[in-house]
Amino acid sequence: MSKKLVRTLFAGVVALALSAGLASASPDKPVIGVVVKIGGIPWFNAMDAGIKQQAEKLGVKAFMVGPTSADPALQVRAIEDLIAQKVDVIGVVPNDAEVLEPALQRARAAGIKVITHESPKQKNADWDFELASVKGFGEAYAKKLATALGGKGEYAVFVGSLTVPLHNAWADAAIAYLKANYPDMKLVGDRYGVAEDVDASRKTALDLMRAHPNLKAILAFGSQGPIGAARAVAERQAKGKVLVLGPFSPGQGKRLVHDGVLTGGYMWNPKQAGEVFVTLGVMVAKGEPIKDGTNIPGLGVVHPDGHNLIVDQLVELNEKTVDDLAKSGL
């Protein structure tokens, strides 16, 4: 599909979302639009459910815009459309933090509050919230991987793209921990920016297994990376030979977990993140103070670090937990 056609299709998606979700703003009922990385995948479907549920609970207008591909330019287009519609709050899960900076700056100049997620220290945002700290999340995976491999062996790292700040920060934390504590674990290459695309992750995993016959594990940060890599392991009949770890939507990955080609990992609840977008959005739209000790539903008691609100609410993914998590709609 040509990039021009993708942009045309996405313009229709944005227009539909805006017409369906928008209403006249008021101080008591702000309008909140949330732009995610890509539409139509389980992770962001769950986030959309959280946004809708919390909006109904709080009696406000909130909706999600999901681009047709993980293209930062499509996110910029969506943000520009939201600015034109004069929403009160724009939420974003960035594909490329730097590319979005000018658009977010324009939003704030227009009096629109900006909230980001999965983008710590995002410029031109009023607040960024995280349900997992960089160090806690990255090191949790490093420890799980080292234990599974007995502290030895070659491994590869996937991220959503080389420009997604949080994925790369997690990868940095995991790699640094393994280098410091497990010198017999060897990183293959640097990292591969494929983990928001199942097919790209699968192909890259297949290529790596062919090029590196001693590869023992793939650590994938990005919800589609573990799925694609696990499918490649199944295809190569490498069950038990190449482990796959990473965050994924339980409903999408449960069969692979039970088949033994996807070991599991940790995640946070994307539905909960959707709820927080709305809750926090209402607070900032109303000018409610957010300071040390503030209790924000979905986040708990927060201790702001600049404009970052970071908590650790990790959920373990394994064969014992994945079915119940999937049944919850994740």
pLDDT value of position 42 = 87
The CB density around residue 212, as the number of other CB atoms within 10 Å, is 16
What is 134-267's CATH number? 3.40.50.2300
pLDDT value of position 70 = 87
Q: Are strands 265-267 and 315-317 parallel, antiparallel or unpaired?
A: antiparallel
**β-bridge partners, 153:** 185
For domain 3-131+269-311, the question of CATH label 2.60.120.560 is answered with no
pLDDT of residue 5 exceeding 90: no
What mean pLDDT value characterizes the chain? 92
Among candidate residues 272, 273, 296, the one with its CA nearest the CA of residue 116: 273
pLDDT value of position 137 = 95
pLDDT digits (tens, 9 = 90+) for 231-249: 999 999 999 999 999 999 9
Instruction: Specify whether the CB–CB gap between 33 and 61 falls below 8 A.
Output: no
pLDDT value of position 328 = 80
3-state SS, one letter per residue, for 204-261: HHHHHHHHCCCEEEEEECCCCHHHHHHHHHHHCCCCCCCEEECCCCHHHHHHHHHHCC
Its pTM stands at: 0.78
Structure letter (DSSP) for residue 51: H
How far apart, in whole angstroms, are the C-alpha atoms of residue 104 and residue 92? 9
- pLDDT-derived band of residue 26, with 50, 70 and 90 as boundaries? low
Structural element, H or E, at residue 178 = helix 165-181
The CB density around residue 110, as the number of other CB atoms within 10 Å, is 13
pLDDT value of position 133 = 93
**β-bridge partners, 245:** 219, 264
What SS3 class is residue 34? strand
pLDDT (average), residues 154-161: 97
* Residue ranges with strand state E in the chain: 31-35, 61-65, 89-92, 113-117, 127-130, 153-159, 185-187, 192-193, 215-220, 243-245, 265-267, 295-296, 300-301, 308-310, 315-317
pLDDT digits (tens, 9 = 90+) for 63-112: 999 999 989 999 999 999 999 999 999 999 999 999 999 999 999 999 99
Domain boundaries, the chain: 3-131+269-311, 134-267
- pLDDT-derived band of residue 3, with 50, 70 and 90 as boundaries? very low
pLDDT value of position 27 = 57
Torsions phi, psi of 224, nearest 5? -90, -20
- pLDDT-derived band of residue 121, with 50, 70 and 90 as boundaries? confident
pLDDT value of position 1 = 46
pLDDT digits (tens, 9 = 90+) for 161-187: 998 888 999 999 999 999 999 999 999
3-131+269-311 with 134-267: one CATH topology?
Answer: yes
Instruction: Specify whether the CB–CB gap between 160 and 220 falls below 8 A.
Output: no
C-alpha distances in Å from residue 249, one per residue of 19, 104, 156, 297, 315: 29, 29, 21, 23, 12
pLDDT of residue 309 exceeding 90: yes
Among candidate residues 99, 39, 96, the one with its CA nearest the CA of residue 67: 39
pLDDT (average), residues 189-193: 94
Amino acid type, 195: A
Higher-confidence residue of 255 and 19: namely 255
- pLDDT-derived band of residue 216, with 50, 70 and 90 as boundaries? very high
Percent with pLDDT over 90 in the chain = 85
pLDDT of residue 259 exceeding 80: yes
pLDDT value of position 163 = 87
pLDDT value of position 128 = 97
**β-bridge partners, 60:** none
Judged by phi (left if over 0) then psi (alpha if -120 to 50, else beta), residue 227 lies in alpha
pLDDT value of position 165 = 86
Instruction: Specify whether the CB–CB gap between 130 and 308 falls below 8 A.
Output: yes
Cα–Cα–Cα angle for 144, 170, 257, rounded to 5 degrees: 45
Instruction: Specify whether the CB–CB gap between 130 and 117 falls below 8 A.
Output: yes
Percent with pLDDT over 70 in the chain = 92
Residues in the chain: 330
pLDDT of residue 31 exceeding 60: yes
pLDDT value of position 330 = 87
Torsions phi, psi of 264, nearest 5? 130, -150
Amino acid type, 162: L
